Amino acid sequence: MTNTFAPRRLAMSMGGITVALAMLGASAQAAQTVNLGHTLSDTSHYSVGADAFKETLERLSDGEFKVVEHASGALGGERAMIEGLQIGTVDVVITSTGPLGNFVPETYVLDLPFLFKDYEQARCVLDGDIGQQLLDKMGNHGLVGLAWSENGFRHMTNSKQAIEAPSDAKGLKVRTMENKVHMEAFKQMGVHPTPMAFPEVFTALQQGTVDGQENPITVIVATKFWEVQDHLSLTGHVYSPAAVLGSPVLLDGLNEEQRGWFQEAAAASVEATREEVSRLETDGVALLRENGMTVKTDIDKAPFQEAVKPAYKIYTDQYGSEMLDLIRDSDC
């Protein structure tokens, strides 16, 4: 006997599968992609922070947001990515403060040399009211300041000679951040500051376009600068924060709960990044030595501090001393 109901049951079964697949497809489509960019490698401390951001946001949002990391300058240099945040072509960026002062001048204060004595003081200031004031000011410049993260204290490398005093650096062409306060400090040491986007630095060192560069240990390790630089001097001349920034094009369209997820994700990113920075401050120097770099550790910083004093006047003449005084007078 022929089962006349079989085709109908099969059709209903297939229809149920189709509906289920359609629902799954709709769910997948509902996940909003968040493009997160930075200029360092996918093994760097920035990438550690990006992983923490991704895990936290996707967990809190239960898959409503999906974070895609674009490392190694895949979305452009830091200046280009910050511009991308303003127009909405990039959603989240982890960036140094190098180009940030060009967009938010108030942040130039953080690039003054020898402003912070150690990590504890720097983190205390940036995690407190002063740091929040600076993050809030970004809203006036088409950016959302989510959190202050970290690169670490910056040190000098070069391919010519060991640097133990400012006179040793005189005449060297050194790649610096795209930041006029930072550049002025190096001019005062007799260095020829040469700003360029970070993705161009390795090749410039390799080809001899510049003699050296300055960055925290974290960046020197992540970029394998030992392949093109012979000498490292632990000058610690500037504490270099990083900023986790969001695009107002994305964030202004979210509800309060969703924005809270992004804030928590940024906080998780900062915690993971700082842990990696602390680890590399010790392990990184040993690694650089193992790869052939000469490392000068016992640097008398007083001559360097004296040499860069004029940079402070240049800053205060243009921007006033209010923020600088707040940092100097803080309880940190």
Predicted confidence band of residue 303 (pLDDT cuts 50, 70, 90)? very high
| Mean pLDDT for the stretch of residues 252-256 | 97
How many domains does the structure of the chain reveal?
1
Predicted confidence band of residue 207 (pLDDT cuts 50, 70, 90)? very high
Closest by CA to 222, choosing from 172, 283, 165, 161, is: 283
Does residue 273 lie within any of the structural domains? yes
User: Can you give the CATH number for the domain in which 189 is found?
Assistant: 3.40.190.170
What is the CA angle 107-112-114, rounded to 5?
135
Condensed to tens digits (0 to 9), the pLDDT of residues 2-57 reads 454 444 444 444 455 544 444 445 444 578 999 999 999 999 999 999 999 999 99
Question: Can you tell me the distance from the alpha carbon of 1 to that of 324, in angstroms, rounded to the nearest whole number?
Answer: 92
Does residue 272 lie within any of the structural domains? yes
Length reported for the chain: 332
Q: Across the chain, what does the average pLDDT equal? A: 91
Predicted TM-score of the model (pTM): 0.84
**Range of the structural domain that residue 74 is part of:** 29-329
Does residue 6 lie within any of the structural domains? no
Residue 29 is predicted with a pLDDT of: 54
What is the CA angle 143-145-151, rounded to 5?
115
Question: Can you tell me the distance from the alpha carbon of 139 to that of 85, in angstroms, rounded to the nearest whole number?
Answer: 12
Does residue 199 lie within any of the structural domains? yes
List own/partner pairs for 60-64 with CB under 8 A and 24 or more apart: 60/261, 60/264, 60/265, 61/258, 61/261, 63/31, 64/30, 64/31, 64/32, 64/258
Does residue 138 lie within any of the structural domains? yes
Does residue 15 lie within any of the structural domains? no
Under 8 Å between Cβ of 266 and 54: no
Please report the sign of the dihedral spanned by the C-alpha atoms of residue 199, residue 202, residue 207, residue 209: positive
